[in-house]
Chains A and B, each alone.
Chain A
Amino acid sequence: MALLEVRDLRVAFNTPDGVLEAVRGLSFDVDRGSTLAIVGESGSGKSVATQTITGLTSGARVSGSARFDGTELIGASSEVLRTIRGARIGMIFQDPLSSLHPYYTVGWQIVEMIRAHDRSVSTSAARRRAADLLGVVGIPHARTRIDDYPHQFSGGMRQRVMIAMAMALDPVLLIADEPTTALDVTVQAQVLAVMRRLQEDFGTAIILITHDLGVVAEMSDEVVVMYAGSAMERAPRRTLFYANHHPYSEGLLGSLPAKGGTRDRLTPILGVPPSLIGLPAGCPFAPRCPYAFDRCWRETPPLRMVFDDPDHASACWLTPVLSEREALRAARVDREPDQPQESASATRVEVRP
Chain B
Amino acid sequence: MARFLFRRLALGLLIMWLISLAVFALFFIAPNDVARTLAGRQATPETVALISARLGLDQPIWKQYLDFLGKAIHGDLGYDYYHQVPVTEIMAQALPITLSLVAGGAIIWLVMGVFNGVVSAIRPRSFVDRSLTAFALFFYSMPTFFLGLLLLYFLYYQLTVAGYPIFPPGGYAPLSDGFWPWLQHMILPWFTLALVSAATYTRLTRASMLEVLGEDYVRTARAKGIRESRVITRHALRSAMTPIVTQFGIDVGALVGGVVVTETVFSLPGLGKTSIDAINQQDLPVIIGIVLFASLAVVVANIVVDIFYAVLDPRVRLH
Contact = CB atoms under 8 A, between A and B. Distances in A.
A99 B224 contact: no
A101 interface: yes
Interface stretch (A24-32, A78-86, A249-257): A78-86
A91 B226 contact: no
A87 B225 CA distance: 7
A242 interface: no
B314 A93 contact: no
B216 A93 contact: yes
Contacts of B219: 56, 93, 99
A85 B224 CA distance: 6
A149 interface: yes
Interface in B234-257: 234-235, 238-239
B73 interface: no
B235 A101 contact: yes
A83 B222 CA distance: 11
Interface stretch (A68-76, A110-118, A316-324): A110-118
A33 B230 CA distance: 32
B225 A102 contact: no
Interface in A161-189: 162, 165
A102 B314 contact: yes
Nearest to B230: A116
Contact of A116 (B215, B227, B238): B227
Contact of A83 (B225, B230, B235): B225
B313 interface: yes
Contacts of B315: 102, 149, 151
Contacts of A100: 217, 220
B217 A116 contact: no
Given A102-B217, A102-B239, A103-B312, A112 B224 contact: yes
Given A93-B216, A101-B235, A82 B221 contact: no
B225 A116 contact: yes
21 contacts: A56-B219, A56-B223, A82-B225, A84-B225, A85-B223, A100-B217, A101-B220, A101-B238, A102-B313, A102-B314, A102-B315, A103-B239, A112-B226, A113-B224, A113-B226, A116-B224, A116-B230, A149-B314, A149-B315, A162-B220, A165-B224
Interface in A135-151: 149, 151
B318 to A, nearest CB: 8
Nearest to B313: A103
Contacts of B223: 54, 56, 85-86, 91, 93
Contacts, number: 70
Interface of A: 54, 56, 78, 82-87, 91, 93, 95, 98-103, 112-113, 116-117, 149, 151, 162, 165
B228 interface: yes
Contacts of A151: 314-315
Chain B interface mostly: helix
A82 B228 CA distance: 9
A87 B223 CA distance: 10
Contacts of A82: 225-228
Nearest to A114: B224
A95 B216 contact: yes
A149 B318 CA distance: 11
Interface string B179-220: 000000000000000000000000000000000000111011
A98 B215 contact: yes
A-B pairs, top 5 by smallest CB distance, nearest first, are A86-B225, A98-B216, A91-B223, A85-B225, A86-B224
B135 to A, nearest CB: 25
A178 to B, nearest CB: 12
Contacts of B221: 101
Nearest to A82: B225
Interface string B123-142: 00000000000000000000
Of B220, B226, B315, chain A has the most CB atoms within 10 Å of the CB of: B220
A210 B238 CA distance: 32
A91 B221 CA distance: 10
A91 B314 CA distance: 25
A108 to B, nearest CB: 10
A54 B223 CA distance: 8
Nearest to A151: B315
A117 B227 CA distance: 10
Given A93-B216, A98-B215, A103 B314 contact: yes
Contact of A117 (B222, B225, B230): B225
Contacts of B313: 102-103
Nearest to A78: B228
B85 to A, nearest CB: 50
A301 to B, nearest CB: 34
Contacts of A116: 224-227, 230
B239 A93 contact: no
A71 B234 CA distance: 30
Contacts of A117: 225
Given A102-B314, A103-B314, A116-B225, 20 more contacts: A54-B223, A56-B219, A56-B223, A82-B226, A82-B227, A84-B225, A85-B224, A93-B220, A98-B215, A100-B217, A101-B239, A102-B313, A103-B238, A103-B313, A112-B224, A112-B234, A113-B224, A113-B226, A116-B224, A116-B226
B125 to A, nearest CB: 10
Contacts of A98: 215-217
A113 B217 contact: no
A198 B163 CA distance: 76
A96 B227 CA distance: 22
Contacts of A95: 216
A93 B217 CA distance: 10
A14 B228 CA distance: 24
Contacts of A85: 222-225
Contacts of B228: 78, 82
Contacts of B225: 82-87, 113, 116-117
Contacts of A86: 223-226
Nearest to A165: B224
